[in-house]
Structure 1
């Protein structure tokens, strides 16, 4: 995993991420794949509280999606 991979999702160590209930600080990238990345984060108020945060990449268009959904109505056609 290179530094440029961390930059692709916009999160580098020290970045503060705010949720509806709390703020978290990015500690490090744990791993990344085709759909996103997982980071180790800690609670901004209590650095002893560690969590994993999954960040999914935005899929630009549905036809580029790697996940395909089956049309349920197609199974009803004789």
Structure 2
């Protein structure tokens, strides 16, 4: 490597301007994202979850799809 290349690599601020100083508060930003992605579910919806699935006939479907996924994970 010639000295000219080394000098140009270390002196990038001439080409790109001043070095970026990150002043973001990542802790508060993360908390904002968590709050934005938060949604509320009524808890009483889950009290009779399995009975409703049995009524609709989805319980067997869910069991079969779970078994298939576990099988495909173990094989794959």
Q: TM-score, normalised by structure 2?
A: 0.23
Q: Which has the higher contact order (CA 8 A, sep 6+)?
A: 1
Q: Which protein has the larger Cα radius of gyration, Structure 1 or Structure 2?
A: 2
Question: Which one has the bigger strand percentage?
Answer: 1
Which has more helix, going by share of residues?
2
